[in-house]
Amino acid sequence: MGMSLKQLDSILGTPDRTYRTSVFIDGHQVDQTNLTYIQRGLLIVYSTTRGAEQVLFTTRHAGALDGARVGDPLDSLFQRWGPPTAYGANDVTGSEGAAWRVGPWRALADAREGRITRLGVELGTPIAY
């Protein structure tokens, strides 16, 4: 977390896809780049102000977060971590979104039809669902 693009490239190599976007957080525009590593099953969200600020697993083989993996039931996270601090429709992905505050981090999950489709962590920033 917080790594520069150069650091990410040295560890993960060149992303398969990049997508630039801007989001508004607390009324401030934040420019972001989504870095997709298809074979690794990873999506890194990089911002110009904070570096790598989200790491998301997009496939089951990419890894686990506290034992949970992509494809598991979203309800299993509610049982494991309790009620999320934010929950609702994720306007970006068109799926259900949930977030749990864990100290300075947030655990994130997106789901479709009750199954986790993306799972990861981010530096603690506000998320509006």
| Sequence ranges of the domains in the chain | 5-123
**pLDDT above 50: residue 128:** no
pLDDT digits (tens, 9 = 90+) for 36-57: 999 999 999 888 778 788 899 9
**pLDDT above 90: residue 30:** no
Which H, E and C letters describe the chain, residue by residue?
CCCCHHHHHHHHCCCCEEEEEEEEECCEEEEEEEEEECCCCEEEEEECCCEEEEEEECCHHHCCECCECCCCEHHHHHHHHCCCCEEEEECCCCEEEEEEEECCEEEEEEEECCEEEEEEEEECCCCCC
**pLDDT above 60: residue 1:** yes
The pLDDT value given to residue 129: 40
pTM equals 0.81
Q: Output the average pLDDT for the chain.
A: 85
5-123: CATH topology is Pathogenesis-related Protein p14a (3.40.33)
Q: What are residue 22's phi and psi, to 5 degrees?
A: -125, 140
